[in-house]
Chains A and B, each alone.
Chain A
Amino acid sequence: GAGVSQTPSNKVTEKGKYVELRCDPISGHTALYWYRQSLGQGPEFLIYFQGTGAADDSGLPNDRFFAVRPEGSVSTLKIQRTERGDSAVYLCASSLAGGSSTDTQYFGPGTRLTVL
């Protein structure tokens, strides 16, 4: 079946604006993750969903960042009052069950966010 998809692939916005990034996980995967990758760095964990609920949002950098997954499938990462430091590639991943040492996370192509 299809892999993880993310839209848009690129987003350019101005400082102070609101953005939404969308992730469509692999069908049947209950666990969904958001990561952020800055240039020259590895991805950093933001938030983990198990079904509809955020099981761990400890990686969200501040309260301008929020994510939802209302029906346990598609997720939206929302960033309010964007800052230039938010510029990065936002990666989404999904896995079958989550929380298991053998549960593999499969990544989408990411959204490159540029805040001018």
Chain B
Amino acid sequence: EDKVVQSPLSLVVHEGDTVTLNCSYEVTNFRSLLWYKQEKKAPTFLFMLTSSGIEKKSGRLSSILDKKELFSILNITATQTGDSAVYLCAVLNSNSGYALNFGKGTSLLVTP
């Protein structure tokens, strides 16, 4: 059975800190890994990763995938209170090329 595990489950940091969120997976016929940010209810898309070693970057957020060790990290530098949210990792496999398999998420709280 496919599995997506995120760590830590929750994290509290001070504004300005750098954080690293982890996502490991066991998926047959891996296709892609996605990161979403969820504030209140709607998950908003951050990154899609399909190839190992290629960093995706957007402002203070970046992410990279390691297909050999089966994990991805999401980095947030110079955190701000607006970064407080649940960060969800999801994996897509070839068997079901559309049904995202999500982890439980990491709840990040950035304090002033």
Partner-B contacts on A (CB < 8 A)? 31, 33, 35, 40-45, 48, 55-56, 59, 89, 91, 95, 98-110, 112
Contacts and interface: CB of A to CB of B under 8 A. Distances in A.
B102 to A, nearest CB: 3
Contacts of B88: 42-43
Interface residues of B, number: 26
A42 B41 contact: no
Contacts, number: 69
Contacts of B103: 42
23 contacts: A33-B98, A33-B99, A42-B4, A42-B103, A42-B104, A43-B43, A44-B102, A45-B96, A45-B100, A45-B101, A48-B99, A56-B96, A56-B98, A91-B43, A95-B98, A98-B97, A98-B98, A104-B34, A104-B45, A104-B48, A106-B45, A107-B42, A112-B41
Kindly name the residue among A31, A42, A56 whose own CB sees the greatest number of chain B CB atoms within 10 A: A42
A102 B4 CA distance: 19
A102 B100 contact: no
Interface in B70-112: 88, 90, 92, 96-105
B32 interface: yes
B104 A40 contact: yes
A112 B42 CA distance: 11
B31 interface: yes
Contacts of A56: 96, 98-99
B52 interface: no
Given A101-B92, A104-B34, A108-B42, A45 B50 contact: no
A65 B87 CA distance: 28
Contact of A110 (B41, B48, B101): B41
